Structure 1
Amino acid sequence: MSSLSRRQALAAALAGAGAVPAMAAPQFGQGLEGQRRADLGKGWFRNPVVPGDHADPTVLKDGSDYYLTFSSFQSYPGAVIWHSTDLVNWTPLTAALQQPIGTVWAMDLVKHEGRYFLYIPVLQPQRMAIYVIHADQIRGPWSAPIDLQIDGCIDPGHAVGEDGRRYLFVNGGRRVRLSSDGLRTDGPVQANAWTPWQYPADWVVEMYAPEGPKLFRRGAWYYLVSAVGGTAGPATSHMVTVARSRSIDGPWEHCPHNPIVRTRSADEPWWSRGHASVVEGPGGDWWMLYHGYENGFRTLGRQTLLEPIEWTADGWFRAKGGTLDKPLPKPRGGKAGPAGATLSDDFSRSRLGLQWSFHAPGADEAARLKHGEGGLAMRAKGKALADCSPLCCIVGDRSYEVEVELEVEGEAHGGLALFYDERGHAGLGFSRSEMLTYGYGQEQGWMREKRAAGPVRIKLRNRENVLTWWTSTAGQDWKQYGWQMEVSGLHHNVFGGFLALRVALFSAGQGEVRFRRFIYRGLPA
């Protein structure tokens, strides 16, 4: 049965059972620029709530507003903060981290005594470190990064003890006390501050990897939500576990129902579900936000999922969403707002939109860009797509089309690509005299074609991980390129790095490439 037929059957079954109105069936390929939208109308939603590579979500409830950010890895500007008023419809506000400090993952966004803090674990060439930035307004300006000198730790989770002292809980059951302003440590890293839950030895997982502690207080209890099992590898890796204590100092007791979320079969729609943050909804109900890989689409990265929870009489909570294969009722009391982000760009603004970020940039990467004159000029860097720090855009559709016009100056070459990392990418580029083909992570020199200099338009269609290319010059009709590429293997389980396959504009060699009229269209699945 085709994916469309499966969705039609699901809609009919749900409508017949009275579970959800027929019109609320999942409608992929609709919404802003055709992107997937979680809000189905009539009070229902379908995961993901933030499609595409938005891993390790950390959520902050601030009055009637919710703020969310994700791992941004080697992309800068990074730590993009998203906003919602109903936990379903999310839109980006600002990029909090402008200065490259390394590979960023699994942050914690908090508000304490009127100030916002973002605690940022960073992988650098010689160390793992934790930084902090702060702001008086969520939109910024955010401070420069401050190195907390916490080496060898990741995944900070901020908490305030019953005595008002501040702490960061980190991976492996450790924690460190913070100064009252949250900008320095106040003592060494403490081992065995909490004991991660241990799954049965015969479970099929990637590794133990106790990580992602997120803490909150409800009533007399502190709750510590964490992940074990590894975040990729087998589909049944990763999970959500819970412990609780009456004191920030412990002792911590494990939930008798752990894990409260886990992918139990590769037949499920979402794999490696884990790394949860728990938050109270606008109407007083409670929810978890966590990430997962979509079955058959690891290339999209880990996407953000929303699941309802309910509190039980014994003071624990349990997940209510099952495998997330069906639409769910929206959180109570929320007000729907804008969703998604505009990806198309005419480059008429004097700065980059929030959809764009450089992969593995240097400290002065933005100096390569020149705005105006009807486009975006990108000074060339490196020798090829692999080493030129392309300008990337995260996408969340299974199928989509992208178009861009470019013009090359000097000895540069540039074009349009799908980029995972330096080893995994595919693309089409042009110099002033040739067309170049990138596949299998390198330029295929034997496929070079002589092409006259001048503006050229490139169109890429990604139909469920099969790429087709077209080109057009001098206003002529589109001409299909003869080589189609299959890219379903360009993901973390092959290359590592926890990234996703992103749309990219690139400029390599000597000279510059000017880009105009970037158009993105999501396609129905």
Structure 2
Amino acid sequence: MIWADRIEGPWSAPIDLKIDGCIDPGHVVGEDGRRYLFTDGIRKIRLSDDWSFHQPAADEAARARYGDRRLLLTGRGTSPADSPPLTCIVGDRSNETELSFDLVGDAEAGLLLFYNHKAFVGLGFTPDTLKLFEYSEELSWARKPLNGRSLRLRLRNEKNVVTLFYSQDEGRNWARHDSRMEVSGMHHNVFGGFLSLRLGIYAAGNGEVVLRDFRYQGNPSLTVESRIPSRG
């Protein structure tokens, strides 16, 4: 634990404490009790209590830059299987998340439900391809052609049944992906680690991803196509 009178100085830079999986070296707690992500030892981004990189390296915080109400993530790895995603614990059994992505350079990005690198589902994209990830693998047969560097993704989790949507016009019109997934088996008893199935944002490849207009809704109304009639 590190204490200081003010949230500044060299101690705020990421520190490698040699404790893999236990310490997130890019985060510190300020005197206000809030967690901060330091991007260069001086500038900071206030995080919610639950956002963090999964299994961060000592330099993971340097991947994130904030400005003009947008978060920029530098790509790392080649896919969600080897890229540390930014994750958030969600407490609502049913929930819906939307986020807009802009790709810069040779980047790939996407929106996930993520337990660990062996257990995740979601959508990702490159400038020319929409990708589907199911149980930690990309399903190449489910690829769809795209033409553009901007995409808005929506992930709806209705009591462990996941439905995925994408929009190429900032959410005015949505397309639902053909595949649905059931994720109730993604937990410690199957995959270990004492983790939880979290919301995840990944950025991979040799480029950057601009993240903007994040929206979250807990316990949304059930979709008509997944509603089970009550017995009367």
TM-score w.r.t. length of structure 2: 0.76
Choose between structure 1 and 2 for higher RCO, CA contacts under 8 A separated by at least 6 residues: 2
**1:53-452 equivalences in 2 (<5 Å):** 99=15, 101-104=19-22, 139=33, 351-354=45-48, 355-452=50-147
> Whole-Å Cα distance in 1 between the matches of residues 128 and 62 of structure 2?
27
> Whole-Å Cα distance in 1 between the matches of residues 140 and 46 of structure 2?
32
1:224-263 CA distances to partner (integer Å, 9 max, x unpaired)? xxxxxxxxxxxxxxxxxxxxxxxxxxxxxxxxxxxxxxxx
Task: Describe the shift of the 1:502–1:483 C-alpha distance in structure 2 as closer, same or farther (beyond 3 A).
Answer: same
Residue 139 of structure 1: CA displacement? 3.9
Q: Which runs of 5+ in 2 are unaligned?
A: 2-13, 24-28, 36-42, 222-232
Structure number with bigger Rg: 1
Relative to structure 2, which stretch is displaced further, 395-404 or 367-376? 367-376
Aligned to 1:47: none
Contact 2:96 2:220 in 1 (8 A): no
Residue 353 of structure 1: CA displacement? 1.1
> Whole-Å Cα distance in 1 between the matches of residues 95 and 32 of structure 2?
32
- SS state of the match for residue 190, structure 2? helix
Contact 1:408 1:430 in 2 (8 A): no
Contact 2:21 2:56 in 1 (8 A): no
Which residue identity lines up with residue 477 of structure 1 in the other structure? N
Aligned to 1:37: none
Give the CA RMSD over aligned residues: 2.6
Q: Which runs of 5+ in 1 are unaligned?
A: 1-77, 79-97, 105-121, 123-134, 142-348
> Whole-Å Cα distance in 2 between the matches of residues 139 and 460 of structure 1?
31
Relative to structure 2, which stretch is displaced further, 379-388 or 349-358? 349-358
Task: Describe the shift of the 1:492–1:472 C-alpha distance in structure 2 as closer, same or farther (beyond 3 A).
Answer: same
Contact 1:350 1:372 in 2 (8 A): no
> Whole-Å Cα distance in 2 between the matches of residues 459 and 433 of structure 1?
19
> Whole-Å Cα distance in 2 between the matches of residues 415 and 387 of structure 1?
14
Aligned to 2:228: none
Aligned to 1:514: 210
Which residue identity lines up with residue 88 of structure 2 in the other structure? C
Residue 454 of structure 1: CA displacement? 3.0
1:461-497 CA distances to partner (integer Å, 9 max, x unpaired)? 1000000011111244111111111111111111100
> Whole-Å Cα distance in 2 between the matches of residues 138 and 369 of structure 1?
22
Residue of 165, 174, 180 corresponding to 1:484: 180
> Whole-Å Cα distance in 2 between the matches of residues 381 and 484 of structure 1?
27
TM-score w.r.t. length of structure 1: 0.35
Which residue identity lines up with residue 515 of structure 1 in the other structure? L
Residue 381 of structure 1: CA displacement? 0.3
Residue 456 of structure 1: CA displacement? 1.1
- SS state of the match for residue 107, structure 2? strand
Task: Describe the shift of the 1:140–1:399 C-alpha distance in structure 2 as closer, same or farther (beyond 3 A).
Answer: closer
Contact 1:435 1:451 in 2 (8 A): yes
> Whole-Å Cα distance in 2 between the matches of residues 520 and 459 of structure 1?
10
